[in-house]
Amino acid sequence: MKMRKTIIALLLSFVTVFAFVGCGDSGSSEEPAADEGAAVSAVIATQDLTDVAAVAKGAGYFNEQMGEGVEVSRMAAGRDMITAMKSGDANFAGPLGICPTIVGLTTGTDYKVIYVASLIRGTEGLVVRESTGFETVADLKGQKIGVTLASSGHYGMLCALEDAGLTTDDVEILDMAPDAINSAWERGDIDVAYTWNPTLTNIANKDGKIILTAADLAKAGHQTINFHIVRSDFAEANPEAVTNYVRALAQANDLYDNSKEEAQEIVGEYLEMDLDVVEQQMSDDYPGLERQLNDDVLGNDNAAAAMLQVAEFLQKAGQIDDAKDLDFFKNAIDTTYIEQVLSEK
């Protein structure tokens, strides 16, 4: 218990410091196009992840469904996206990790979760330099570990330490953005990092070995999820625009599920990556429209329960006054837009 409290305290001290206040072809034409009267001006805060949202961005589905007044704002990390949502500089955000999502909600930023971008599996993980001979997390005692603080990767690293019987006193955690992790690895400054794609795959291909992934942590009870969210005031004023946002995501999921190579080519062009790299990096579970309400995604309060678990983790360190309860997180999820698009099938 003492070790758990130490881990929680360290995580949240960094959360506070960073003001994260938060851890070619258009494809299928089955999705209806946006109504002319529904066109709006909106900003989507996003990260350049190798995921299905990149299909929607690269293929222009957001503009196709929502109109030409939609701008995609590319940001470095979830904490930047939450800042944009708090200030009103962005109306939508996604894909957004579970840590910034739940901390933003519990500290007063008013938005709704409207879609699960991914159940994180292979795109986040712990990589070690193969020449070190490290095989398990327990082998990392005394090592420097590159991690992006106040992120789901940071949360995952701390959970991994806890599960291995280590504390943060046993290692040296270095705060690094993903590109800095990549540079430090190439210089030989670090031999261990917990990060996500594309950095994870990049350094794994340079004398690296992935010894733990988010899939392993999920099996141990530490599920991490990427979401899409919308500001509540925008949604109330523009419900059809939010429905069209979901249509764009569903359109991208349909293309990925039915023509994966075509979808990955779009991602590669958008992110300026070779196709074989995209294929290697797209290793999460990307639930399509028909799966969104299933028990392992948004149904059966699965996502809400995962969010509550993280909130309780944060509250124990005293950084969140109230971790809320399951009903709070259930109310933070609005599936009406998914239900609307499903009804059109």
Q: Tell me which residues of the chain have a pLDDT lower than 70.
A: 1-39, 150, 314, 316-320
Cα dihedral 13, 16, 18, 23, rounded to 10, equals: 80
Mode of pairing for the β-strands spanning 172-175 and 144-147 = parallel
| Residue 102: per-residue pLDDT | 84
| Residue 168: per-residue pLDDT | 87
Is residue 227 within 8 Å of residue 95, measured between CB atoms? Answer: yes
- Count the residues in the chain: 345
The rounded mean pLDDT for the chain is 88
| Residue 1: per-residue pLDDT | 45
- Provide the 3-class DSSP secondary structure of residue 288: coil
pLDDT tens for each residue of 149-207:
767 888 889 889 989 999 889 999 999 988 899 999 999 999 999 999 989 999 999 99
| Residue 134: per-residue pLDDT | 97
pTM of the model: 0.82
| Residue 77: per-residue pLDDT | 83
Closest CA to 90 of 237, 227, 231, 239: 231
Please report, as a single letter, which amino acid is at residue 101. T
Q: Domain spanning 2-120+224-343: which superfamily?
A: Periplasmic binding protein-like II (3.40.190.10)
- State how far the Cα of 222 lies from the Cα of 228, in Å rounded to an integer: 20
| Residue 13: per-residue pLDDT | 45
Q: What is the DSSP string of 65-113?
A: HH-TTEEEEEESSHHHHHHHHHHTS-SEEEEEEHHHHHHHHHTT--EEE
- Strand runs labelled E in the chain: 42-47, 70-75, 92-97, 111-119, 124-129, 144-147, 172-175, 192-196, 208-213, 225-231
Task: Kindly report the backbone phi and psi dihedral angles of residue 222, in degrees, each rounded to the nearest multiple of 5, phi listed first.
Answer: -115, 70
Given the candidates 3.40.50.10880, 3.40.50.300, 1.10.150.530, 3.40.190.10, the CATH classification of the domain at 124-219 is: 3.40.190.10
Q: What is the DSSP string of 136-173?
A: SGGGGTT-EEEE-SSSHHHHHHHHHHHHTT--GGGSEE
| Residue 2: per-residue pLDDT | 41
Mode of pairing for the β-strands spanning 70-75 and 42-47 = parallel
pLDDT tens for each residue of 23-55:
433 333 343 344 444 568 999 999 999 999 999
Q: Enumerate the domain spans of the chain.
A: 2-120+224-343, 124-219
Q: Which helix (H) or strand (E) holds 233?
A: helix 232-237
- Describe the strand order of the beta sheet including 42-47 as a list of residue ranges: 70-75, 42-47, 92-97, 225-231, 111-119
Q: What token pair was written down for 31?
A: 């999705």
| Residue 9: per-residue pLDDT | 46
- Provide the 3-class DSSP secondary structure of residue 135: coil
- Matching fold, domains 2-120+224-343 and 124-219: yes
Closest CA to 146 of 181, 116, 109: 181
Mode of pairing for the β-strands spanning 92-97 and 42-47 = parallel
| Residue 312: per-residue pLDDT | 82
